[in-house]
Amino acid sequence: MTEAVARSVRQPSMADVARTAGVSAQTVSRTLRDSPNVNPETRRRVLDAVEQLGYRLNNAARVLSSGRSFTIGLVLLQSGGYYSRSAVTAGVEAAAGHAGYAVNIATIAGLDTGLMERALSKLADQGVDGIIIAVPLISVTQKMEDITRDIPTVTLDGSRTAGARVLGIDQLEAGRLATQHLLDLGHRQVWHVSGPDEWIEARQRLQGWQECLAAAGIDAPPALEGDWSPDSGYRQGQIIAMIPDVTAVFAASDEMAFGIIRALRERGRSVPEDVSIVSVDDIALAAYCSPPLTTVRQDFYRSGQAAVELLLDPDGANASVVPASLSVRASTAAPRSH
């Protein structure tokens, strides 16, 4: 009882441990940081004292004196892409934790320069050692440049700042894979429901689609723009359903794909008999809704990890690209032959 009270009065400090172990505070510090020059016997005494006092290193003091916070800041968008967001977060957290870093999250409510600046400032104020930006930067302001110049930064979507390194997730390839799959099945034209134009992912997938069609000598139809949500897919799907000869659609996300499918079905167009649909993400549900979705899988967890590795890599040679692969299921088929 007394012990509990005493503890809540003041946490033991390194000096307390030093006193109990009969050494200097510096030796305690060395022991805890696995410094090489510590006698095994001394080390044991120190660790015993730590255990006995329930000592816990004071992070703030460590940060202040060492100048390093062992914390990585992660900038996320609050809405949209639940799946990819949490997978990225988990990947970042795992890799960071593995390297002895903590993760500090800053979510922004929308793609707005002011919000972005505030998020970066917040992280800078927290003294993070590095920043991972997992949302697209619409336009890069001076203030953002200032921060990313001082603090190592990796962007996960391809947008660039001075000083920020970029982790490529090959979205062009994703767009190409999806489109080519439809062409290979025999479709003569592929429509596209894209993500919001501010998102680099969206633009790159769209570009991959365009390039793939161009390579096949096909004029791309106008792209329809969604906002990643099933609902926006549904709305664009209603438009697509009004166009008679559409046989293949590439949707920029699984969630939009399901919205499109619903709209098509309500108009009497079945999937994949009348219209084939491919999308990107491969969320857990993709295989279980009906029809099971043909989709380009991207390993977001791995991307999160890779971002951390890139960030912590001193020579920065580590710019790995996370690959994409196609999961073929039942939402695509050859067009009706007649």
Partner DNA sequence: CGAGCCTATGTTATCGATGCCATGTGTAAC
Partner DNA sequence: GTTACACATGGCATCGATAACATAGGCTCG
| By the rule CB under 8 A, 274 interacts with its own copies | no
**Of 2, 8, 65, 139, which lies in the binding site for DNA, with binding defined by CB under 7 A?**
65
Residue 11 sits in the site that holds DNA (CB under 7 A) = yes
What tokens appear for 321 in the block? Answer: 């690209």
Instruction: Pick one of its own copies, DNA, none as the site partner of residue 199 (Cβ within 5 to 8 A by kind).
Output: none
Of the candidates 118, 121, 158, the one whose C-alpha atom is nearest the C-alpha of residue 136 is 158
The answer to whether 111 contacts its own copies (rule: CB under 8 A) is: no
Phi/psi region, residue 241 (left: phi>0; alpha: psi -120 to 50; beta: rest), is alpha
Q: What is the DSSP letter of 288?
A: T
Among 255, 281, 282, 309, binds its own copies (CB under 8 A): 255
Query: For its own copies, which is the closer residue by CB, 18 or 263?
Result: 263
Quick one: 10 or 338, whose CB is closer to DNA? 10
Q: Which stretch binds DNA (CB under 7 A): 63-71, 141-149, 193-201, 322-330?
A: 63-71
- Told to check if 181 binds DNA by CB under 7 A, we report no
- Bridge-based pairing of strands 294-298 and 324-327 is antiparallel
- Residues 8-27 binding its own copies (CB under 8 A) are 8
Contact flag: residue 64 with DNA (CB under 7 A)? yes
Is residue 197 within 8 A of residue 207, CB to CB? The reply is: no
The CA R_g of the chain, rounded to the nearest whole Å, is 26
Judged by beta carbon, residue 149 or residue 188, the one nearer DNA is 149
Amino acid at 176: R
**Cα(172)–Cα(175) distance, integer angstroms:** 5
- Looking at the chain, which runs of residues are DSSP E strands? 71-77, 102-108, 130-133, 153-155, 164-166, 191-194, 224-225, 248-251, 276-281, 294-298, 324-327
Partner that binds at residue 150, options DNA, its own copies, none, CB closer than 5 to 8 Å by kind: its own copies
* Cα 193 from Cα 187, distance rounded (Å): 17
Shortest distance, CB of residue 49 to its own copies, whole angstroms? 17
- Answer for which of 47, 53, 63, 111 binds its own copies (CB under 8 A) is 63
Interface with its own copies includes 64 (CB under 8 A)?
yes
Task: Write the burial class of residue 211 (CB in 10 Å: 0-12 exposed, 13-18 middle, 19+ buried).
Answer: middle
What are the residues whose beta carbons fall under 8 Å from the beta carbon of 125, sequence distance 6 or more?
none
Binding site for its own copies (CB under 8 A): 4, 7-8, 54, 56-61, 63-64, 69, 71, 78-79, 82-83, 85-87, 89-90, 93-94, 97, 102-107, 109, 121-122, 124-127, 146, 149-150, 229-231, 233-234, 255, 258-259, 261-262, 265, 283-285, 287-290
Contact footprint for DNA (CB under 7 A): 10-11, 13-15, 22-27, 29-30, 32-33, 36-39, 41-42, 55, 57-58, 61-62, 64-66
